[in-house]
Amino acid sequence: MEKPSKIAPAKGKLGILLPGMGAVSTTFMAGVELVRKGKSQPVGSLTQMGTIRLGKRTDARSPLIKKFVPLAELSDLTFGGWDIFKDNAYQSAANAGVLNPQDLEKVKPFLSTIKPMKAAFDRDFVKLIDGPNIKKGKNKYELALQIKEDIANFRKTSRASRLVTCWCGSTETFVKPAEVHSTPEKFVAAMQSNHPAIAPSMLYAWASVTSGVPYANGSPNLSVDIPAIQQLAHDHNVAICGKDFKTGQTLLKTVLAPAFKARMLGLEGWFSTNILGNRDGEVLEDPGSFKTKEESKLSVLEYILQPQLYPQLYGKMCHKVRINYYPPRGDNKEGWDNIDIFGWLGYPMQIKVDFLCRDSILAAPIVLDLVLLLDLAQRAGMRGIQEWLSFYFKSPMTAPGLYPEHDLFIQSMKLKNTLRWMKGEDLITHLGQEYYD
Ligand SMILES: NC(=O)c1ccc[n+]([C@@H]2O[C@H](COP(=O)([O-])OP(=O)(O)OC[C@H]3O[C@@H](n4cnc5c(N)ncnc54)[C@H](O)[C@@H]3O)[C@@H](O)[C@H]2O)c1
């Protein structure tokens, strides 16, 4: 791909469309408003707090990322969304119980104005929840057209000059890529015939991309990760990325596993278990939805450790992931990892990680960064899969035939080098020989 010749300025409002207005979405919106009011800091957001080094280490040029590339200002963000429940964003946030009542009270008037549009929903894909705020239509194609209308209406009423969609809806049951996902024509025919391999999340993806709106996929659902939608993203010059926000346990896995490999330490096994009590946890009780999540969580180690290259170190590793719904914990997940490694002469060692995290607190800044960076990519004329945003995903999308990069620090370098490349700055290789000439 050619370097963008110019990046259009971030003029006017940026409308953020969120299919799924649950814990992550509402924590994100409430957080943006708290930061805008000067009542909180955007901790965890690279676009708001991060800097980027330019030139040599001796040049002392490290601007804030948001000053280096033209990102939308938080004051220019406006929000809309869909959900199967009728609760407005304030009620939904109160129900999710992530933020404390004092914080929520400060943004109650703002959140109360954000009311969900009717969702395209199908219980065959999310078995354990049901709600009253659901679209009706003869077939899936009609539902997708209704979503397109919603997008067009939101564009008008919000007076946004640009839009971005970020899927924050539930994890759907496992769907394998099939023939009906292979081309835009087959995909439309499948929507019209109500084909069972067309999930609701794909309807939002299709509607968004064919409306010229970039789309980020925060769940492990296939959604935009199918050739039909990727083709459409090219045809409509739309940036897309996914999938599955990399937040707690997997974030740490993609930090620890590269360290073992860098030092040629072996891995016998990695057992990961979670207890969580939010609605996401409830949905993941269903084996179909769990399978989608499990696939996303499991692939990470295989790709990082490359057992085919290092059979003595990783050829026999046993990797298990469990998720248990345990209501008393709410959104405050506990992720345990037991890691059996071995060192010099094969002597065994163990590492235990107990991450008492907050799921949506970790996810919200990722949503913010993704919508801002996707909007930037779109204004820079970048289309199709945005692999440089892998940094934010458990299961990064790549071009066909490419394996995904999971190592967090390679992902971070890739992201920052892409920003440098967009602005015509030298890429940083970390070679550093020039300092010793
Ligand atoms: N929080 C994290 O750390 C994290 C990490 C990775 C991925 N995710 C994914 O992000 C998504 C959101 O997580 P959450 O904790 O906010 O879950 P949540 O259950 O609180 O919110 C999801 C919302 O989506 C709605 N929904 C389901 N199907 C829909 C449809 N077809 N159309 C519109 N709305 C629909 C549900 O009613 C619910 O309100 C999940 O898929 C989750 O797996 C979250």
Give the closest residue (by CA) to ligand 1 atom 17: 280
Question: Has residue 260 got a pLDDT over 90?
Answer: yes
* 297 Cβ inside 6 Å of ligand 1: no
Closest ligand 1 atom to Cα of 245 = 6
* 169 Cβ inside 6 Å of ligand 1: yes
* 122 Cβ inside 6 Å of ligand 1: no
Question: Has residue 164 got a pLDDT over 80?
Answer: yes
Residues 6+ apart with CB under 8 A from 152: 211
Task: Give me the mean pLDDT over the 69-85 stretch.
Answer: 98
Choose the residue to mutate in 28, 167, 170, 370 for probing ligand 1, maximizing ligand atoms within 8 Å of C-beta.
170
d(CA 202, CA 208): 10
Task: Give me the mean pLDDT over the 63-68 stretch.
Answer: 97
Question: Has residue 127 got a pLDDT over 90?
Answer: no
d(CA 42, CA 366): 11
Question: Has residue 148 got a pLDDT over 80?
Answer: yes
Choose the residue to mutate in 98, 165, 168 for probing ligand 1, maximizing ligand atoms within 8 Å of C-beta.
168
d(CA 376, CA 10): 8
**Of 429 and 27, the one with more pLDDT:** 27
Pick the range with the lowest mean pLDDT from 122-136, 246-260, 337-351.
122-136
* 85 Cβ inside 6 Å of ligand 1: yes
Helix (H), strand (E), coil (C) string for the chain: CCCCCCCCCCCCEEEEEEECCCHHHHHHHHHHHHHHCCCCCCCCCHHHHCECCECCHHHCECCEHHHHCCCCCHHHEEEEEEECCCCCHHHHHHHHCCCCHHHHHHCHHHHHCCCCEEECCCCCCCCCCCCCCECCCCCHHHHHHHHHHHHHHHHHHHCEEEEEEEECCCCCCCCCCCHHHCCHHHHHHHHHCCCCCCCHHHHHHHHHHHCCCCEEECCCCCCCCCHHHHHHHHHCCCEEEECCECCCHHHHHHHHHHHHHHCCCEEEEEEEEEEECCHHHHHCCCHHHHHHHHHHHHHHHHHHHCCCCCHHHHCCCEEEEEEEECHHHCCCCEEEEEEEEECHHHCEEEEEEEEECCHHHHHHHHHHHHHHHHHHHHHCCCCEECHHHHHHECCCCCCCCCCCCCCHHHHHHHHHHHHHHHCCCCCCCCCCHHHHC
Residue 215 confidence (pLDDT): 98
From residue 425, how far is each of 6, 217, 374 by CA, in Å?
13, 30, 20
**Residue 268's pLDDT band (boundaries 50, 70, 90)?**
very high
Compute the radius of gyration of the chain from its Cα atoms: 22
Task: Give me the mean pLDDT over the 343-369 stretch.
Answer: 96
Residue 430 confidence (pLDDT): 86
* 96 Cβ inside 6 Å of ligand 1: yes
Contact 138, 247 (CB under 8 A): no
Tokens 């998720």: give the residue: 323
Give the closest residue (by CA) to ligand 1 atom 31: 121
Closest ligand 1 atom to Cα of 247 = 3
Give the closest residue (by CA) to ligand 1 atom 6: 245
Residue 434 confidence (pLDDT): 84
Question: Has residue 163 got a pLDDT over 90?
Answer: yes
Tens-place pLDDT, residues 401-429: 898 999 999 999 999 999 999 999 999 98
Residues in a beta bridge with 335: 274, 355
Tell me the percentage of the chain whose pLDDT exceeds 70: 99
* 126 Cβ inside 6 Å of ligand 1: yes
What is the separation, in whole angstroms, between the first and last Cα of the chain?
Answer: 34
Task: Give me the mean pLDDT over the 6-32 stretch.
Answer: 97
Q: How far is the CA of 24 from the centre of ligand 1 (A)?
A: 7
Peptide bond into 243 cis (omega under 30): yes
**Residue 278's pLDDT band (boundaries 50, 70, 90)?**
confident
What mean pLDDT, rounded, does the chain reach? 94
**Residue 1's pLDDT band (boundaries 50, 70, 90)?**
low
Tokens 């409002």: give the residue: 13
**Residue 329's pLDDT band (boundaries 50, 70, 90)?**
confident
Residue 2 confidence (pLDDT): 63
Tens-place pLDDT, residues 332-344: 889 999 999 999 9
Question: Has residue 4 got a pLDDT over 80?
Answer: no
In single-letter form, the type of residue at position 341 comes to I
Both structure tokens of 214? 């970039």
Tens-place pLDDT, residues 292-323: 777 777 788 989 999 999 999 999 999 999 88
Q: At what angle do helices 408-422 and 249-262 cross, to 10 degrees?
A: 100
Residue 298 confidence (pLDDT): 78
Both structure tokens of 239? 């940036």
**Of 46 and 324, the one with more pLDDT:** 46
Question: Has residue 264 got a pLDDT over 70?
Answer: yes
* 277 Cβ inside 6 Å of ligand 1: no
d(CA 60, CA 58): 6
Q: At what angle do helices 184-192 and 140-158 cross, to 10 degrees?
A: 110
